[in-house]
């Protein structure tokens, strides 16, 4: 999903707006590789710190200590982090924007402390993951337009469109993180986490997820209204975003079991996939 998001942001969305962009194919490959390596390292460190909770929440999916030793996992985490940082710093200096190195350094540090501490804190961990997911889109945009004025092919502000996708990515991820907390509440209780479902209960947390999803649905309806004169955009948003969001609201309202919340998490993944895929409409 990260790779798809970055590729579509550059080659479908941004290049439909601008005749020339600063990020060459080579530098883009370096950038995406850096992001993917740091993302992978984040998943690994998360699995390392989640060994005890995964025994309860995901007994059939946990592979550490079974197929892969913790020592090897730590080694792989360090290796991927180092290579990701080297590539991120390299592309920042090559493009003469050394300050952009901070994004990669900060992300690596945040992912570690998220896995060790912040994910156990209500809403804080959810917001961190949501912001990092939105950062994937922002990074491509940031590296493409380093304070330059490029000639646009469209009258609609690219800043506005990027902001819409950032809000979409952040909100969908935030809802999914809340749903995952409800799904994983038993394992989180074992490690004495203070996630939202533990503090206020599953039902109240589900209502919060429903409320945020409702706001997202209204936001999408506003976008639908704005695209009523654009045939493909209108029907795409209606069928692949609005209707799935409506179904999501129904599922959240009537969800009761861990299996119910697992299916909701999958629906959110599908909505995010089609949301990101909509960038192709700008190209074609």
Is the distance from CB of 278 to CB of 237 less than 8 angstroms? yes
Q: What average pLDDT does range 24-33 have in this prediction?
A: 95
Range with the lowest mean pLDDT among 24-28, 29-33, 52-56, 94-98?
52-56
CA-based nearest residue to 193, from 264, 111, 123: 123
pLDDT at 62: 67
- pLDDT above 80 (res 183): yes
* CA–CA distance, 18 with 9 (Å, rounded to integer): 12
Phi-psi region of 255 (alpha: psi -120 to 50; beta: other; left: phi over 0): beta
Long-range contact set of residues 251-258: C-beta below 8 Å, sequence gap at least 24: 252/179, 252/206, 252/209, 252/210, 252/213, 253/206, 253/210, 255/206, 258/183
Give the tens place of pLDDT for each residue, 204-262: 999 999 999 999 999 999 999 988 888 899 999 999 999 999 999 999 999 999 899 99
**pLDDT greater at residue 15 or residue 173:** 173
Nearest-angstrom CA–CA distance, 103 and 126: 19
Question: What's the pLDDT at 214?
Answer: 97
Closest CA to 181 of 198, 167, 168: 198
Higher pLDDT, 17 or 234: 234
**Residue of 140, 213, 132 lying closest to 172 (CA atoms):** 213
Average pLDDT estimate for 171-194: 90
pLDDT in tens, 40-95: 999 999 988 888 787 777 766 666 766 678 889 999 999 999 999 999 999 999 99
pLDDT of 136 above 90:
yes
- The three-point CA angle 157-160-164 to 5° equals 145
3-class secondary-structure state, position 68: strand
- Residue 189: which pLDDT band, with cuts at 50, 70 and 90? confident
pLDDT band of residue 155 (cuts 50, 70, 90) is very low
**How far is Cα 54 from Cα 251, in angstroms, rounded to an integer?**
25
Q: Against a cut of 0.85, is the pTM above it?
A: yes
| Banded pLDDT at 114 (limits 50, 70, 90) | very high
| pLDDT value at residue 54 | 73
Please give the C-alpha separations between residue 255 and each of 202, 203, 249, 259, 267, in angstroms, as whole numbers.
Answer: 10, 9, 10, 9, 13
Burial class of residue 195 in the structure, from the number of CB atoms within 10 Å of its CB (0-12 exposed, 13-18 middle, 19+ buried): buried
So what's the pLDDT on residue 226? 86
With cut-offs at 50, 70 and 90, classify the pLDDT of residue 11: very high
* Most trustworthy range by pLDDT among 14-18, 93-97, 151-155: 93-97
The pLDDT mean for the chain works out to 90
Distance in angstroms (rounded) separating the CA atoms of residues 58 and 186: 11
CA distance 252 to 110: 30
Q: For residue 13, is pLDDT > 80?
A: yes
pLDDT at residue 20 above 60? yes
């Amino acid at each position: 999903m990260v790779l798809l998001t970055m590729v579509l942001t550059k080659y479908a969305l941004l290049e439909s707006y601008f005749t020339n962009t600063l990020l060459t194919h080579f530098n883009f490959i370096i950038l995406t590789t850096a992001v993917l390596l740091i993302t992978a390292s984040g998943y690994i460190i998360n699995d390392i710190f989640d060994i005890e909770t995964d025994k309860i929440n995901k007994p059939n999916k946990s592979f550490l200590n079974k197929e892969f030793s913790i020592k090897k996992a730590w080694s792989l985490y360090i290796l991927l982090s180092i290579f990701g940082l080297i590539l991120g710093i390299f592309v920042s200096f090559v493009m003469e924007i050394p300050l952009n190195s901070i994004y990669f350094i900060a992300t690596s540090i945040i992912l570690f402390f998220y896995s060790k501490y912040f994910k156990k804190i209500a809403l804080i961990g959810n917001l961190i993951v949501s912001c990092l997911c939105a950062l994937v889109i922002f990074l491509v945009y940031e590296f493409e337009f380093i304070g330059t004025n490029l000639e646009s092919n469209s009258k609609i502000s690219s800043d506005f469109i990027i902001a819409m996708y950032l809000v979409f990515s952040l909100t969908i991820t935030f809802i999914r993180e809340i749903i995952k907390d409800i799904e994983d509440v038993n394992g989180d209780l074992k490690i004495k986490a203070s996630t939202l479902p533990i503090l206020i209960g599953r039902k109240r947390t589900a209502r919060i997820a429903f409320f945020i999803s409702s706001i997202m649905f209204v936001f999408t309806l506003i976008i639908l209204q704005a695209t009523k004169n654009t045939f493909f955009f209108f029907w795409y948003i209606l069928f692949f975003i609005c209707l799935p969001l409506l179904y999501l609201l129904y599922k959240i309202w009537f969800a009761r079991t861990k299996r119910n919340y697992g299916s909701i998490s999958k629906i959110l993944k599908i909505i995010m996939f089609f949301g990101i895929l909509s960038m192709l409409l700008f190209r074609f």
